[in-house]
Amino acid sequence: MFSGNRDAAGHLTLTTDYEVVYSALEANWQSEFELQIRADEVVSAAKFSLAIYAEFNREWRQQIASPNQVLSSIGTNLRFSGPT
């Protein structure tokens, strides 16, 4: 439900809250998603907890809403966005 990036030290910064975007849609968008992950490219994986993230990054929702940030990079990374 979120997009973001990690800096060189591994600190996660969320940049896009898709829950806000999708909650405004009237269609049943959940049925349109299918998760595909290439296991041979996974370096590590861990459960993400928004509650824990928010505890250490209290202003994260305000930062996402900041007009100076790029909110989406959909389609710019062909390695992960799939064939065009």
Domain extents for the chain?
2-81
DSSP secondary structure, 17-71, as one string: EHHHHHHT--S-GGGG------GGG--------HHHHHHH-TTHHHHHH-TTS--
SS3 category, 78? helix
What Rg value do the Cα atoms of the chain yield, rounded? 15
Q: Over 50: is that where the pLDDT of 80 sits?
A: no
**CA–centroid distance for 13 within its chain:** 9
pLDDT digits (tens, 9 = 90+) for 16-27: 888 777 788 777
Model pTM above 0.75: no
Element (H, E) at 13: strand 12-17
Average pLDDT for 40-57: 86
